[in-house]
């Protein structure tokens, strides 16, 4: 007696029936429970462990029945490489953020007015026109950076339940690669031109460095900031001509093999900050906990947009719409709270979308090629069976040769695209490293 025939996908594997609303309900529940920390902290402390315990138990019970473990294992290599790439990009970004904040000195940050921001003007105008409940909703900290990272992890683990297409580790590799490229592009964007912070007190609150400008700024920038005629002459001569003012000497600690970082990190002088005596380069770097002039474009918005793009592609529907609404809510809060200018938020929005599309060919095209090969084999299956029944050996060889040629062509396309991807990543990383080394060597 034959049982019920099992449905198969185009790749010949059993279909993994999705739970259509489970992931969306879990995501909305997580955001709602986490926001209880603002409304009812005792209830939040009780509910959140139960929520995480339930999600972890569900994944543990489902994992033994997951049919695509081979795909996950094959994706581990690209995922590990993408993690290292991401860590390298974050390291370069950390040094660059420190540099753009300390190179001009604390006096510049305190005295320089923020740039005019029409986006913030619009939000202030709406505060006077919208009903107060709406304004309070716009001001509410509904989601933060960690929420988007958790939502992405939930999307990756949802492959266990068939809510998103396997492999989950592959989604993570693409996410890390996109974010790493975005971080390097962000460095190359804010490093060439230093904007005054939207929060003038930020540098004084976070950094311990000299009040006067770095020798580079003393020679190439500071003499020309107060007189438009000097700027006109600078443009005409195309060379620095104004004399350098009388500034205190730079403090130069002994950092051994990391001595080249002194020009970038600009460590604090123990004579001014006694608690920084014998401070290492790593302590100097990590104390700030973030920059004040790492503007154009917003890293927070980049992370949120990449999360929304991943959800939209892997799990389109009402939940993705909610996440995009949260992204827009985060965007206006970044402007409202003066973490970034409106232009930084706008750049983060479209760059996140662009980068997710840019990296799509590394994964989606590979899946499309496999699907095409599977469809070709299925189309040839009937002809192959007929040729076998007729004993037509030559026909069988011709069919197998066609399938093999299609496989070779697919492999050539895959290799070519990997070379292009590697070239893009290499050029991006190389340009960032070149700017970093040039800055270090003065």
SS3 273: coil
Task: State how far the alpha carbon of 351 is from the alpha carbons of 47, 72, 172, 309, in Å.
Answer: 37, 28, 19, 11
pLDDT profile of the chain (442 residues), mean per 10: 39 46 84 89 90 90 88 87 91 90 91 92 95 94 91 91 85 91 91 90 88 90 88 91 88 87 88 83 80 87 94 86 94 94 93 88 55 61 68 71 65 59 59 56 52
Counting beta carbons within 10 angstroms of the beta carbon of residue 28, is it exposed (0 to 12), middle (13 to 18) or buried (19 or more)?
Answer: middle
Q: The pTM is what?
A: 0.79
pLDDT at 381: 66
Task: State how far the alpha carbon of 400 is from the alpha carbons of 311, 372, 394, 395, in Å.
Answer: 39, 15, 10, 9
pLDDT at 344: 93
pLDDT at 259: 87
Which residue is listed with tokens 């912070």? 197
CB-based contact 116:200 (threshold 8 Å): no
CB-based contact 123:335 (threshold 8 Å): yes
Measured distance between the N- and C-terminal CA atoms of the chain, rounded to whole angstroms: 81
pLDDT at 162: 83
pLDDT at 6: 37
pLDDT at 401: 72
Distance CA 87, CA 273 (A): 31
């Amino acid at each position: 007696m034959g049982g019920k025939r099992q449905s198969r996908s185009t790749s010949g594997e059993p279909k993994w029936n999705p739970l259509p609303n489970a992931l969306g309900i879990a995501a909305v529940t997580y955001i709602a429970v986490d926001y209880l920390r603002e409304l009812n902290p005792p209830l939040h402390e009780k509910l959140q462990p139960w929520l995480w315990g339930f999600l972890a138990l569900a994944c543990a019970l489902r994992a033994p029945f997951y049919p695509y473990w081979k795909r996950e294992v094959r994706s581990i290599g690209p995922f590990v490489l993408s993690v290292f790439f991401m860590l390298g990009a974050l390291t370069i970004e950390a040094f660059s953020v420190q540099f753009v904040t300390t190179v001009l000195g604390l006096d510049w940050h305190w005295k320089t007015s923020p740039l005019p921001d029409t986006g913030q003007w619009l939000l202030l105008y709406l505060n006077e026109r919208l009903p107060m409940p709406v304004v309070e909703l716009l001001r509410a900290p509904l989601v933060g950076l960690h929420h988007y990272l958790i939502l992405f992890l939930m999307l990756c683990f949802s492959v266990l339940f068939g809510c998103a297409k396997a492999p989950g580790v592959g989604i993570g590799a693409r996410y890390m690669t996109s974010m790493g490229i975005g971080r390097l592009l962000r460095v190359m964007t804010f490093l060439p031109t230093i904007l005054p912070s939207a929060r003038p007190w930020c540098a004084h609150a976070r950094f311990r460095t000299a009040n006067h400008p770095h020798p580079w700024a003393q020679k190439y920038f500071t003499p020309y900031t107060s007189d438009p005629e000097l700027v006109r002459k600078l443009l005409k001569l195309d060379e620095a001509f104004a004399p350098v003012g009388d500034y205190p000497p730079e403090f130069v600690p002994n950092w051994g093999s990391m001595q080249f970082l002194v020009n970038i990190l600009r460590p604090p002088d123990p004579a001014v900050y006694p608690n920084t005596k014998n401070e290492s380069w790593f302590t100097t770097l990590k104390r700030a906990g973030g920059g004040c002039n790492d503007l154009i474009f917003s890293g927070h918005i980049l992370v949120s947009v990449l999360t929304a793009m991943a959800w939209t592609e892997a799990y389109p529907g009402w939940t993705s719409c909610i996440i995009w609404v949260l992204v827009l809510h985060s965007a206006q809060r970044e402007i409202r709270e003066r973490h970034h200018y409106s232009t930084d938020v706008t750049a983060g929005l479209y760059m996140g979308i662009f980068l997710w599309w840019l990296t799509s060919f590394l994964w989606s095209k590979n899946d499309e090629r496999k699907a095409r090969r599977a469809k070709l084999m299925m189309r040839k299956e009937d002809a192959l069976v007929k040729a076998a029944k007729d004993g037509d050996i030559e026909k069988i060889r011709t069919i197998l040769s066609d399938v093999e040629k299609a496989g070779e062509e697919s492999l050539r396309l895959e290799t070519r695209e990997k070379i292009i991807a590697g070239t893009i990543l290499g050029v991006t990383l190389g340009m960032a490293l070149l700017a970093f080394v040039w800055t270090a060597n003065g």
